[in-house]
Amino acid sequence: MGAIFLPFLAIVIDINPVMAEFGPFTLTWHGLFTAIGILAGVTLSVWLAKRDGIPVEVAQEIALVGVPCAIVGARLFYVVEHWDRFQNDLPSIVFGITEGGITLYGGLVGGVLGGLIYAIWHKWPIGIGLDAAAPGMILGQGIGRIGDLINGEHIAKRTDLPWGVKYLHPDSPQYQYNLLNQDPNNPLRPLDTYAVHPVAGGYELIGDFIILGILLFVCYRVIKVPGWVFCSYVAMYGIMRFFLSYFRVDEQVIGGVPVPQITAAITLGIAVIAAGILYKKPGPITPEYAMRVWGRLPEDIAPKDEGQTGAGAEATRA
């Protein structure tokens, strides 16, 4: 049985989180949609970068560095947060990644740092590249959350709202959690479970696509400073993630405060600081970006080679 919508009752999902097993590797819905999200996100970012004058091969090269760094960062953050699960099973740190267990903030930090360092090393457009990366990153996150919706991996609080979700497959983490944490005043009936908030695969999924729409149809048209579209993405996602923590019960805490809320506050502060730095030093500016955003080619921006135009033309703003 798959997903069934019961009006004014709950959305019932009875799908095996595991799609297939290949020796020590397990392919889950989470892993599948994460891969689809990465492909879709990179495609969108490369297209946006090309439109603003960054050659396709340059954008692809940055992605080839940024994506692996994002995966490593996402996994490392999760392992550090849940070290008690891995200290006696170190191989699962690597082989268990297809089953889930990544932290989006870790992916954000790892991917951005990897791509940023590589771009700075090659003296490529920093602010423009970050702006192109932002919509692709949030698109990838949104698509990846579809797998979370199917698997029920992120443990959420119970709800009586009509869009609450019931995970009935015995291998679903949410089903297992409910089974082990029953309400004495409302014990579960056989083959039943509690409805919970669709936090990651519902609220965050919708929020991700709302942020994507704002980035593409508002920020890209209004913001005139290279890099500020990316800063807007970090700020919006941080604010959303801060409030979503109130609906989850599986987050590690420090001093009673969920780690994602602490991380959200830190990244929000970093976004503000980065916005100030990028305002003064946005990095190289391409003629394509200048014409699209400012509608003119400033005097201090000119193609490297006389007569050169298109994606290969670059210039530097003092």
Strands annotated E in 178-238: none
What are φ and ψ of residue 301, in 5° steps? -120, 120
SS3 158: strand
Contacts of 147 (CB under 8 A, 6+ apart): 28, 29, 30, 31, 32, 33, 34, 100, 201
Please list the alpha-helical segments (H only) found in the chain. Answer: 29-51, 56-81, 83-86, 92-95, 104-122, 126-151, 173-180, 205-214, 220-222, 228-244, 259-280, 287-293
Question: Cα torsion at 59, 65, 67, 72 (round to 10°)?
Answer: -170
SS3 156: strand
- Paired strand residues for 248: 156
Instruction: Yes or no: say if 42 and 67 are a contact pair by the CB < 8 Å rule.
Output: yes
What are φ and ψ of residue 191, in 5° steps? 65, 25
Distance CA 230, CA 284 (A): 16
85 is in an annotated binding site: no
Please report how many Cα atoms fall inside a 13 Å half-sphere around the Cα of residue 234, on the Cβ side. 28
Q: Which residue ranges are tagged as binding site?
A: 145
